[in-house]
């Protein structure tokens, strides 16, 4: 890699979510000046992602980030798809990826742990993260990029990266549309310390479950279980998270124990599948949720955003036009197919409505686990390793912009 003399102007990063912080960390630890603007007053501890896939853990090894996540999270060697009523299941053991990754497992860990750890690194690197600083517009000329804050202050950088999530001002400034759609269902996420493992035999740490008339998932963190279900069609977010609605869901899952389940925290959200039509215009870039949104089935949104941040940091450090152009040309098709498409297929699988269809799918998946080569291929895809390998291939077509 040809490393050019660093541009003295900082890279401006909009948004201190996990993607913006990862990008800032990669740039700053390589000696690049960075300035981060965050609208909120601090790092959010909102209930969001909890799955870290193997290649993400491989990437985050520098400065002890992965070690800290492993200490704060729960290693999950395998994940399951199961039929609730009968307990029939298929379990995918990630140990078969031992030759492909240094971390052949999923880690379940609150997303906020990553952000806190990255903030600590950024402080040690003297990077300014300006909280309470909402960026209202961004722009560029031939030599620089600009960010203007709500209070009118304007900052100048060599490049600007919008990591400000789904409602990105940078995405608008680069003229990208955000084509896609919202899935019809509202998902309710509830956390509880209730020991599901004592009631449902042989649960894994991550479980996608078919139940009569619907589906739910159970993810185990060190301190709690995260239980996701679909709200009824006639419920808005408030109704879907009411104690009565949660009890109704829990009674369907645990008919004789629902009263003993104490829900600690709930959140209802609508899920979208969207992909920005372009990720760059000159000195302006987008990454993470600003560039793509997907169904959370499979836990790939946060991971994909972190992979964007690594790719873009490498491109910005290289600084050549070819490297900068490759960021979008390599990442965008892989995100489309291996993240948005894969998450969509995962969602469709769990939406199979009838018993026969579910049983046939379970049999198909069991056949995969009996064939070592097919199992490895399946897990390379679902663990996001195959997509990253494809993104590392030279892109076809003209990369200049």
Residue where the block lists tokens 């409602």: 167
**Calpha distance 210→349 (Å, rounded):** 10
Write out the H or E segment, with its range, that includes residue 198.
helix 196-199
**Shortest distance, CB of residue 2 to ligand FAD, whole angstroms?**
29
232-255 CB burial, b ≥16 within 10 A, e <16: eeebeeeebbeeebbeebbebbbe
**Shortest distance, CB of residue 212 to ligand FAD, whole angstroms?**
25
**Shortest distance, CB of residue 359 to ligand FAD, whole angstroms?**
27
Using CB under 6 A, which of 11, 34, 37, 155 touches ligand FAD? 37
**Shortest distance, CB of residue 89 to ligand FAD, whole angstroms?**
20
72 vs 135 by CB, closer to ligand FAD: 135
Q: Rounded to an integer, what is the distance from CA 356 to the centroid of its chain? A: 32
Using CB under 6 A, which of 12, 24, 163, 174 touches ligand FAD? 163
**Shortest distance, CB of residue 298 to ligand FAD, whole angstroms?**
8
> Per DSSP, what are the bridge partners of residue 209?
82, 216
In the complex, residue closest to ligand FAD by CB: 17
User: Would you give the DSSP letter of residue 4?
Assistant: P
Using CB under 6 A, which of 10, 12, 17, 349 touches ligand FAD? 17
284 sits near ligand FAD (criterion: CB under 6 A)? no
49 vs 218 by CB, closer to ligand FAD: 49
The window from 14-22, 87-95, 120-128, 392-400 that contacts ligand FAD (CB under 6 A) reads 14-22
38 sits near ligand FAD (criterion: CB under 6 A)? yes
Residues 65-124, interacting with ligand FAD (CB under 6 A): 111
DSSP character string of 39-105: SSSS----S---EE-HHHHHHTTGGGHHHHHHHHSEEE-EEEEEETTT--EEEEEGGGGTTT-S--S
Under DSSP, is residue 178 helix (H, G, I), strand (E, B) or coil? strand
CA distances, 369 to each of 70, 96, 357, 365 (Å): 27, 10, 19, 7
Using CB under 6 A, which of 54, 157, 288, 387 touches ligand FAD? 288
> Strands 11-14, 159-162: parallel, antiparallel or unpaired by DSSP?
parallel
CA distances, 31 to each of 3, 28, 41, 127, 218 (Å): 12, 5, 27, 11, 42
92 vs 358 by CB, closer to ligand FAD: 92
Cβ within 8 Å of residue 400, ≥6 positions away:
321, 322, 325
Under DSSP, is residue 3 helix (H, G, I), strand (E, B) or coil? coil
Size of the site for ligand FAD (CB under 6 A): 36
Tokens found for residue 186: 């509202």
**Shortest distance, CB of residue 294 to ligand FAD, whole angstroms?**
8
Using CB under 6 A, which of 48, 74, 117, 249 touches ligand FAD? 48
**Shortest distance, CB of residue 398 to ligand FAD, whole angstroms?**
28
159 vs 358 by CB, closer to ligand FAD: 159
140 sits near ligand FAD (criterion: CB under 6 A)? no
269 sits near ligand FAD (criterion: CB under 6 A)? yes
Comparing C-alpha atoms, which of 234, 247, 239 is closest to residue 184? 234
**Calpha distance 84→61 (Å, rounded):** 37
237 sits near ligand FAD (criterion: CB under 6 A)? no
Using CB under 6 A, which of 120, 267, 345, 389 touches ligand FAD? 267
The window from 10-18, 94-102, 324-332, 364-372 that contacts ligand FAD (CB under 6 A) reads 10-18
**Calpha distance 72→69 (Å, rounded):** 5
Residues 345-384, interacting with ligand FAD (CB under 6 A): none
Residues 290-349, interacting with ligand FAD (CB under 6 A): 296, 299-303, 305
**Calpha distance 99→56 (Å, rounded):** 16
Instruction: By CB under 6 A, name the binding residues for ligand FAD.
Output: 14-20, 37-40, 44, 47-51, 111, 134-135, 163-165, 169, 189, 267, 269, 288-289, 296, 299-303, 305
């Amino acid at each position: 890699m040809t490393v050019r003399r660093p541009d003295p102007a900082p890279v401006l990063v909009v948004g201190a979510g996990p993607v913006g912080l990862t990008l800032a960390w990669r740039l700053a630890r390589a000696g690049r000046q960075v300035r981060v603007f965050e609208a909120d007053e601090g790092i959010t501890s909102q209930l969001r992602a909890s799955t870290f896939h193997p290649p993400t853990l491989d990437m985050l090894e520098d400065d002890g980030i992965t070690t800290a996540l492993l200490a704060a999270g729960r290693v999950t060697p395998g994940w399951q798809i199961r039929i609730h009523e009968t307990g029939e299941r298929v379990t995918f053991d990630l140990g078969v990826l031992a030759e492909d990754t240094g971390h052949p497992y999923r880690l379940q860990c609150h997303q906020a742990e990553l952000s806190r750890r990255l903030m600590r690194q950024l402080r040690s690197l003297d990077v300014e993260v300006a909280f309470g600083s909402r960026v209202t517009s961004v722009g560029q000329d031939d030599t620089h990029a600009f960010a203007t804050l709500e209070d009118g202050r304007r900052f100048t950088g060599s490049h600007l990266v919008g990591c400000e999530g789904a409602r990105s001002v940078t995405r608008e400034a680069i003229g990208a549309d955000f084509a896609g759609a919202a899935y019809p269902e509202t998902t309710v996420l509830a956390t509880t310390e209730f020991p599901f493992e004592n009631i449902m035999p042989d649960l894994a740490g991550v479980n996608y479950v078919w139940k009569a008339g619907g589906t739910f998932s159970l993810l185990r963190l060190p301190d709690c279980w995260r239980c996701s279900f679909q709200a009824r069609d006639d419920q808005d977010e408030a109704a879907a998270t009411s104690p009565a609605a949660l009890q109704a869901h829990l009674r369907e899952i645990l008919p004789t124990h629902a009263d003993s389940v104490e829900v600690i925290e709930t959140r209802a959200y609508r899920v979208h599948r969207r992909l920005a039509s372009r990720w760059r215009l000159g000195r302006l870039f987008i990454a993470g949720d600003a560039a793509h949104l997907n169904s959370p089935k499979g836990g790939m949104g946060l991971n994909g955003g972190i992979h964007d941040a690594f790719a873009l940091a490498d491109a910005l450090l290289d600084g050549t036009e070819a490297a900068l152009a490759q960021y979008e040309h390599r990442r965008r098709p892989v995100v489309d197919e291996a993240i948005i498409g894969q998450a969509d297929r995962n969602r469709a699988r769990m939406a199979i409505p009838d018993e026969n269809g579910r049983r046939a799918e379970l049999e198909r998946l069991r056949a995969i686990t009996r064939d070592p080569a097919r199992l490895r291929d399946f897990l390379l895809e679902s663990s996001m390793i195959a997509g990253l390998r494809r993104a590392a291939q030279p892109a076809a077509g003209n990369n200049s912009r």
